[in-house]
Structure 1
Amino acid sequence: MSSIVDVKNIGMNFYTVDGELKVLENLSFSLEEGKILAILGPSGSGKSTLLNILSNLLKPTAGDINIKGKIGYMFQRDHLLEWRTIIDNITIGLEIQKKLNDDAMEKINKLLKNYGLWEFRNRYPRELSGGMRQRVALIRTLSVDPDILLLDEPFSALDYQTRLMVSDDIYKIIKNENKTTILVTHDISEAISMADQVAVLSKRPANIKNIYDIDLTVSNEKTPLLARKAPEFKDYFDNLWRELDVHEK
């Protein structure tokens, strides 16, 4: 299968009053359509910077990027507008692009029904739990029909139990909608349970130290919760922990 994302020798430098700061250096990877790639690295290693480059919010200092399709970016916070209803929050991107039509509304209504939010469409964000708000944020991202999803630590604002449940929900939506996804996280367990592949970043200036293929299918099914119960889960965790630089001086 051909790659939908190709990143070759990306470099990113920032310039401050203290001088040049090298964040990324010679970073390369590719991703096949329909796969989930988790980017795992220590704090400050440039994970979010990489997503900003992929989404064209930043221009890299060096290297080439080839992306075949449209990007949808889901941030750490849901950024729902409290004065707009759930349905109005979801349609805001299409309204801005002047692409809100009957076909788009039909797709949004289908997403709301499929993922348990239909009866809440006329509620306001303050009336929803944190997990439901994240589902709304994802459906809002999906409403513009992206080919590739960028998720920047989408569960970091949630408590542990909610994170586990929401990761299952988000995973099922991504796989059902067949969206190629790049997930940034610093949580090893989250990366293993969610992803088809995990790329480990070095310390800054970051490059990719290794990419692990993850195969954690339990009873012919893969969900993040089931993946955590697989006997191989611990082996992946130990390997990734050793790979990370967080415990090196």
Structure 2
Amino acid sequence: MNSADLSSGVVSISYAVKKNVKTKVMISKGKESYTYNLLAGKTEEKFPLQLGNGEYTIALLENISGKSYKVVKQSSLQLKLKDENVIYLNSVQNISWTSTDKATAKAQELVKGKKTDEERVKAIYNFITTTIVYDNKLAKAVPSDYLPDIERTLTMKKDICYGYASLFAAMLRSLDIPTKLVMGNTEYVDVYHAWNEVYLNGKWVTIDTTLDAGTVQSKKNAVMIKDSKMYTKAKQY
């Protein structure tokens, strides 16, 4: 069912999803867990072990009926990372990237000549906030199983907050800058939201490219690093 690259803090799930059977993977540690949909046609998908060091349980679930699922496979593993920031450099299901993507090539182009991580982050931030437009149509009818696609976001030049945060994370991770995709609530908007935390100068800072794209594209000034107290985290990837 799974293999783990424990030095990177990820688990790879290989499973042939049965036709018309909703299949999920649940990754648990203690009382906390993350659940993901497994997609038909995918030979392997990677997921982060973002609940810290310790023992994880990996369970594969298949839908029986309605909202009922049964466990079809289960295993456990131990995570012992010296630096948990490495978790946030990986390509995973909702922040999927490769070194040959147009988005990662664009990241390399944008940071040419930049000497510090702060300069690199600012260059990617400026590109996204000036280029990607909020997709109001998608926001009104977003599928429950929606997953970002950084190449689609870059090509279409529009997305919802989830897509903004995934693109920003992927571009920065491709530059070896640890970046989290975070979901939860903020005092800035009245709907469930996605943003990023970026490891800069020895600490995690909050950056919201979706919010700032609206500000910048309205010809107003935006401050890149936000007050983290304005954000309430529910999930992080």
TM-score (normalizing by structure 2): 0.25
Q: Which has the higher strand share?
A: 2
Q: Which has the higher helix share?
A: 1
Higher relative contact order (CA 8 A, sep 6+): 1
TM-score (normalizing by structure 1): 0.24
